[in-house]
Chain A
Amino acid sequence: MNKIKEIIKKLWQNKKTRFGLIVFSFYLIIAIIAPIIAPPYRENDPYIVKQTGFSAIPQKPSLKSPFGTTQNQYDIFYALVWGTRMIFKITAKVIIISLLIGIILGGVSGYFGGIIDEIIMRFTDIILSIPSLILAIFVIAILGPGIEKVVIAISFVWWPGYARIFRGEILKIKSMDFIKYSQMIGAKTLWIFKKHIIPNAIYNVIILASLDISNIVIIASSLSFLGLGSPPGYSDWGQIISVSRNWIISGLSSIEYSHTVVIPSLFIFFFVFSLNIISETLRDIFDPKLN
């Protein structure tokens, strides 16, 4: 816990990263207060985008809809705000699930070695040899579209990376004498994992996970954009871009409707950009120590 405070302090000191942290917190706050600033349109499912009217043509920003609307009157502000909440939910779930699986399998693999290690490592090798978006598309083809399926698909593609890193850390630690000592005095394997291995090995994995957030956001949005995630009319960044694109392709678009493209793009861009700035500095902080 103290270490996290230390890290945030260091990030704050760097001017670039301070900007990144502020922007990121801004989005975090939006995600949390979404029900307040964009009151749920439908009670059963607040993620269904508010529609402000019946026109098929996008409306410019006004008092009624601060960011304007897309075709069929989907309120862009509503969609982006609830989409922020959605993306935080998806990313958090993916990271937790893939970390859990990665640590368990990587841990078993690294600590016990032998055939189990071989099998698990071959398995991760194979998954890692297929580009992540492609494999995620495959998994969704099997499971069917939907947000929960997106979470499962991305977690499936993501855990091998964590498993490998964790295993590597364990191999480094396994040969340390303090592990041998615990084994020699008869400590059970679970005890050794809990007290010695995990506290030492997990550090790097957590860092990796935090650097990964922007990648997960991009792949989740990409899957939605391709129509494999949320259904149409849902508050999801990928969906919004897809709707935006449809209007351009329809041939009816022109500079008048730039708000349908520019606003969502800038909104998503700043989020990813802030994450990237933070990642860069995080990497620098931890690099010398990693060695």
Chain B
Amino acid sequence: MKRFLIRKIIFLPLTFIGITAILFFIINTLPPQTLASAYSNSEKELTSEELNTIIEKYDLKGNIIKRYLKWLSKIIKGDFGYSQTSKMSVSDSIKKYLPATIELALFSIIPIFLIGNYLGLKAARKKDTLFDKITSFTSSFLYSIPSFIIGIILLFLFYGILGIFTPARYSIETEILISSGFFKQYTGFMIIDSILNLNFRVLLDSIKHLILPSFSIFLGTSAIFIKITRNSTIEEMGKDYVRTLRAKGLDEDYIFKKHIRRNILIPQITVGGLQMIRLLSGVVITEAIFDWPGIGSFGVKAARQLDISGVMGFVIVVSALFIIGNLIIDLLYAYFDPRIKYE
């Protein structure tokens, strides 16, 4: 098992280098003048003289591999350059926007796993009953609706018509508290920060704003997790060892808790992991719909304005998250699958 994991861990930086290389070479299809604006740190539009100075300084017409290596060394140190979109350095932008996305993602994933697990198990135990049929049908149905449509209908329903929830991450009052310095953002995660600030109003406000977008994500992506839970549970229930345990007189609930739940972890992790992909891509849409100030919104705005350093930072950070996420899945998988342990 150790060798298997070490191999995976070694591949990580290689994949990362591969990704950065491809991104860099794609960017360099742009003419040097356009690239120059990415290297500048000012807000103004540059004159051709200033552009030429920058072209000279960063050797933008020079050897591409040298430039790639120079650029890569900066990236590794965390220097992604300056973002025209957010008027601050890209790394600062990432620090500002990424926590919002992660908070939303976690707030969505946890219900998907908990509720999805519950629904899947229940549907399996009540196989072919009305409950099972409704659950399966509803989740498949929702899964096939494009995420922006789910989002917009929820937004319309709960904001446009009912006015219960509002878009964005927090209300105007909270915004004022933050900008005036009365509310300190220690971690960037509103839930944690509001506890640290001992401000329960803000805590409730943050949770209220998290509900709608995470519900949107839940509706759009939970189906597969529910399905795999249900199907693997049904498979487990038919296995010989379960029949043996039943024959021994063990309680059905006990069998479920102690045995079946553990054995379905592996397919759940595999599938749950794959759901991450859909989530990461989907979060960009959800952030756009609900005006959520996360890394997705930042990346899209940067893309619209040809903010090269911004977009680059966005893609690299998301890809890095993605690769690390995959690695975690592999680690979990290796931990829970006894067969791999003995390889």
- Which positions in A face B, CB cutoff 8 Å? 122-123, 125-127, 129-135, 137-142, 144-145, 214, 218, 221-222, 225-228, 238, 241, 244-245, 248-249, 253-255, 257-258, 261-262, 265, 268-269, 272-273, 276
Contacts and interface: CB of A to CB of B under 8 A. Distances in A.
Contacts of B21: 126
A244 B152 contact: yes
Contacts, number: 137
A218 B148 CA distance: 9
Interface string B269-294: 00000000100110011001101000
A286 B318 CA distance: 35
B315 A138 contact: yes
A254 B160 contact: yes
Interface stretch (B1-9, B24-32, B125-133, B175-183): B24-32
A131 B152 contact: no
Contacts of B291: 249
By DSSP majority rule, is chain B's interface helix, strand, loop, or mixed?
helix
Contacts of A269: 145-146, 149
A225 B156 contact: no
Interface of B: 15, 18-19, 21-23, 26-27, 29-30, 144-149, 152-153, 155-156, 159-161, 167, 277, 280-281, 284-285, 288-289, 291, 299-300, 302-304, 306-308, 311-312, 314-315, 318-319, 322-323
Contacts of A125: 15, 18
A241 B152 contact: yes
A130 B19 contact: yes
22 contacts: A126-B18, A126-B19, A130-B322, A131-B281, A137-B284, A138-B26, A138-B315, A141-B302, A142-B29, A142-B308, A145-B304, A222-B146, A225-B148, A226-B300, A228-B300, A248-B160, A249-B167, A254-B161, A265-B152, A268-B149, A272-B146, A273-B144
B152 A248 contact: yes
A126 to B, nearest CB: 4
Given A131-B277, A253-B160, A122 B144 contact: no
Given A131-B281, A228-B300, A245 B289 contact: yes
Contact of A245 (B15, B152, B299, B306): B152
B278 to A, nearest CB: 9
Residue in A225, A227, A228 whose Cβ sees the most chain B Cβ within 10 Å = A225
Contact of B322 (A131, A214, A245): A131
Give 5 nearest A-B pairs by CB, closest first. Answer: A141-B303, A133-B281, A253-B160, A126-B18, A141-B311
A144 B305 CA distance: 9
A241 B149 contact: yes
B150 to A, nearest CB: 9
A79 to B, nearest CB: 15
Contacts of B306: 141, 144
